[in-house]
């Protein structure tokens, strides 16, 4: 398997829009519905994700097809990382694999052929931990879980590039910012989009960090009726981005109506309520 550098930088979109979607977990049908709702132009628009593309949902086997689309940019989530770890030293023992499938929602993995598994593993191994996107408003970061509290974006990225394991673990697994409702944000970056911690109320703001995992797969399977997939324009106004859901009966939530490309993100990485 090939491997990817921990940070991928993406230049500004010269002609289209940039969207980000919350944790998919095999609910690729909902992603397609959301793209249709915003009239996504596959020639000029781009779709970013915060990881956890696989497991739990009914269409995890479609992950390879999804990742090979030229308009898709994804970071690695803890579910992708766990699957890769199973194969870090070669194919795992069947008992180990069966246990992982039982507890991690990996049953789909047992249902696909060996060659398809290899192709998926190779694609997942190329996913970075961080994507940095340049926009007219400033830099937007995409990660799966969290930046260590109190750490600036510059220190965070340097720690990842140096191979710091604690920082990497927080990037993939951290929840303390959300659990403590920390509004201090992350200095040195315009916005950060994260997933990992589901909140079926919709997009939640923590300073300049926006949590967009809204429990799509659980809404789809009925375990959490309020669960849905969130898809938002990355440069839209903060007050619109965090507005209450208008259509709680739907399995998708679209927020794309109020982009403000000429207004920079807030100073020191913190956003005012209207920017």
The CATH code of the domain that includes 34 is: 3.60.21.10
The confidence score (pLDDT) of residue 269 equals: 41
Q: What is the pLDDT of residue 85?
A: 94
With a cut of 60, say whether residue 17 has pLDDT above it: yes
Residues β-bridged to residue 88: 90
pLDDT on residue 95: 86
Q: State mean pLDDT over 42-54.
A: 98
Query: What pLDDT sits at residue 2?
Result: 52
Query: Is 243 within a domain?
Result: no
- Write down the pLDDT at residue 3: 63
- In this predicted model, what pLDDT tens digit does every residue of 171-181 receive, in sequence order? 999 999 999 99
Residue 110: pLDDT over 60: yes
CB contact at 8 A, 174 and 206 = no
Does 275 reside within a domain? Answer: no
Domain-located, residue 124: yes
Q: Is residue 218 domain-resident?
A: yes
The pLDDT value given to residue 138? 96
Residue 260 maps to a domain: no
Torsion from C-alpha of 131, 132, 133, 134, nearest 10 degrees: -170
Tens of pLDDT, residue by residue over 77-109, are 999 999 999 999 888 888 888 888 887 788 899
User: For the whole model, what pTM was predicted?
Assistant: 0.94
Does residue 88 lie in a domain region?
A: yes
Number of domains in the chain: 1
**Which residues constitute the domain of residue 199?**
7-234
For residues 60-73, one letter each, b for 16 or more C-beta atoms within 10 angstroms of the residue's C-beta and e for the rest, the string is bbbbbebbeeebbb
Q: In the structure, what pLDDT confidence band is assigned to residue 267 with cuts at 50, 70 and 90?
A: very low
């Amino acid at each position: 398997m090939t491997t990817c550098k921990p940070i991928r930088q993406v230049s500004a979109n010269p002609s289209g829009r940039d969207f980000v979607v919350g944790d998919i977990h095999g609910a690729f049908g909902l992603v397609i519905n959301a793209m249709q709702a915003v009239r996504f132009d596959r020639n000029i628009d781009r779709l970013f994700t915060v990881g956890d593309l696989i497991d739990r949902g009914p269409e995890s086997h479609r992950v390879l097809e999804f990742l090979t689309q030229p308009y898709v940019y994804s970071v690695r989530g803890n579910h992708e990382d766990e699957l890769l770890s199973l194969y870090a030293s070669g194919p795992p023992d069947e008992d180990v694999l069966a246990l992982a499938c039982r507890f991690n929602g990996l049953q789909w993995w047992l249902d696909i052929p060996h060659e398809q598994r290899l192709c998926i593993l190779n694609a997942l191994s190329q996913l970075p931990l961080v994507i940095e996107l340049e926009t007219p408003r400033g830099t937007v970061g995409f990660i799966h879980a969290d930046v260590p509290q109190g750490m600036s974006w510059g220190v965070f990225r340097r720690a990842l590039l140096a191979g710091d394991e604690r920082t990497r673990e927080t990037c993939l697994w951290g929840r303390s910012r959300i659990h403590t409702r920390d509004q201090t944000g992350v200095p040195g970056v315009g916005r950060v989009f994260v997933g990992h911690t589901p909140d079926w109320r919709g997009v939640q703001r923590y300073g300049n960090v926006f949590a967009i995992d809204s429990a799509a797969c659980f809404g789809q399977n009925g375990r959490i009726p309020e669960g849905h997939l969130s898809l938002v324009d990355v440069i839209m106004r903060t007050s619109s981005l965090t507005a209450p859901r208008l259509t709680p009966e739907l399995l998708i939530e679209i927020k794309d109506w109020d982009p403000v490309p000429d207004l920079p993100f807030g100073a020191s990485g913190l956003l005012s309520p209207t920017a």
